[in-house]
Amino acid sequence: MPTGACGIDCDVCKLNLKGVCSTCGPGDGDTAAAKAAAQERILGSPCPILACARLNRVRHCMADCSQFPCENFSSGPYPFSGAFLSMQRRRLQEAPKAYAPDGSHLAVDEAYWQAAAQRDPLTVCNLTFFEAAGPACFQFRFLNEELRIDLGARTLLRPEPGGRWTAVKDPLLALATVLYLKNVQAVHPLGQDIVSGKDLKEGHFFTGPHVFRTDPIRRRFGQDLPGFQKACLALGGKPMPLADAAYQLLPFPRLALYFLLWQGDEEFKPRLQVLFDRPIETILAADAIWALVNRVALAFGDISVGRAAAGS
């Protein structure tokens, strides 16, 4: 592949076409290793961006690294301008646009908000381990962060310095959370009846355009088992004796997802699978399960598993 870890597409560069310069290739490939060795031999040290990508097995910084743009980009005169990096920082802070399985913009139905808000708060807290934080408002732990859902104001809230809580647009998580609060009727044990998506009653839903959007995790960690383990632990995961590496993740205190990774090799491609406690189908419909899995998958992109220092 001609695109370097930094994002430069060498396939359209005349230096590469003329044979004056060769591509670095993705940071986790053999081409990158050879290019870094050549830079070390000729220049005395490799490009810090390439060195960091190789150390962390990041294919392309812009797509696969939660730290982009880091100081390795900011401290150098190239490959990107300061204005481009500032734009990246600003837009990476924006909430990702969420789409329903049919491609439309995702929104939580008003009737769902109303039904969840009408439930008895004490019952809700006992069933979910959420904490009451005001009228029709609950605080809960989503993976590794504390959040609130204000059913009256129809919004999710995130804590800010100074004790303030700020509304955030997170349609995937909002949908899953509201439907969870609306539907949960019992406490179910975790880890006793773990099944795949196809084993659920509505398992046929998770095919075609409705497959779980977990490919970025597989691409990022398919050859980096330690990185996957670090990411899962950073998200509050609990290791499980399954696959090459497997973790129980808790998007809600009493509801679990299980992420399993089989590492790739010369013969087999890496494989990632998401499993569930069977009772999830009594709480969330297929579209809400789809939303929750995809939201947890997005959280992997916010986790840093280490990087090389500039110039190392």
Report pLDDT for 243.
94
Residues spanned by the domain of 234: 194-300
What pLDDT is attached to residue 176?
94
* Domain end position, chosen among 183, 214, 243: 183
Domain tally for the chain? Answer: 3
Same domain, 293 and 199: yes
**Per-residue tens of pLDDT for the chain, all 312 residues:** 568 888 888 767 656 655 667 788 888 888 888 888 888 888 888 888 888 888 888 888 887 787 788 888 877 766 877 777 677 677 666 555 555 555 556 688 999 999 999 999 999 999 999 999 999 999 999 999 999 999 999 999 999 988 899 999 898 999 999 999 999 999 999 999 999 999 999 989 898 888 999 998 998 888 889 989 999 999 999 999 999 999 999 999 999 999 999 998 778 899 999 999 999 999 999 989 999 999 999 898 877 554 333 333
Domain termination site, one of 60, 92, 124:
92
Looking at the structure, tell me whether residues 175 and 270 fall in a common domain.
no
Q: Are residues 179 and 198 in the same domain?
A: no
CA distance 275 to 187: 19
Q: Does 102 reside within a domain?
A: no
- The answer to whether residue 3 is domain-embedded is no
From 92, 124, 154, give the residue that closes a domain: 92
Q: What is the pLDDT of residue 92?
A: 61
Same domain, 224 and 270: yes
Please give the model's pTM, rounded to 2 decimal places. Answer: 0.73
Both 205 and 179 in one domain: the answer is no
